[in-house]
Amino acid sequence: RPRSLCGRSRPTHFRGVTTVVTKLFNATLPDVAVFGEKDEQQAAVIKRMVRDLNFPIRIITSPIVREPDGLAMSSRNRYLSDEERQQALAIFSSLRNAKKAITGGLTEADSVITQISTEITAAGGEIDYVEIIDAENLTSVASIDCEVLIAVAEIGRASCRERV
């Protein structure tokens, strides 16, 4: 679903990603490639591309590695101002709180989305999207009754995801 989540605000992004990764795979002919869960939508697009093009490559996703304060490790973090870093941490905090609410029995996706949005905007963040999607097929869910991925992105800044 390259036109959902990050694909809405960056409509040609995944076309570029798949072109670059295809060229890399053709040049190196790997048996295995590892993509981080931090960019789970990108990993899903790559898995689909590998399947569709019959590449003999096993795609593995690697868990998010976090800095001591909880921010997902990324080379782009060094470009964040102190204020932007705090806003990015608000995303992570809102996702932890949402996960607690869901494991505590909250199943209405819109309520969870509202909770997350409220926390992020209260910290000064501008939301690009907050979506709760089925972790397998990346489709939106109204009721949380399966493993889901909560995906959040701020306009032009940070993004974060959490599996529940």
Strands 32-36 and 58-62, how do they pair? parallel
The angle at the Cα of 101, spanning 98 to 106, to the nearest 5 degrees, equals 115
Task: Enter the pTM of the model.
Answer: 0.71
DSSP 75: G
Per-residue pLDDT of the chain in tens (164 residues, 90 and over written 9): 444 555 455 556 678 889 999 999 999 999 999 998 877 778 888 998 999 999 999 999 998 888 898 888 888 888 888 888 888 888 889 999 999 999 999 999 999 999 999 999 998 888 888 989 887 777 889 999 988 888 888 775 545 545 55
Residue among 144, 122, 124 nearest 133 (CA)? 144
- What is the spatial distance between Cα 150 and Cα 130, in angstroms, rounded to a whole number? 7
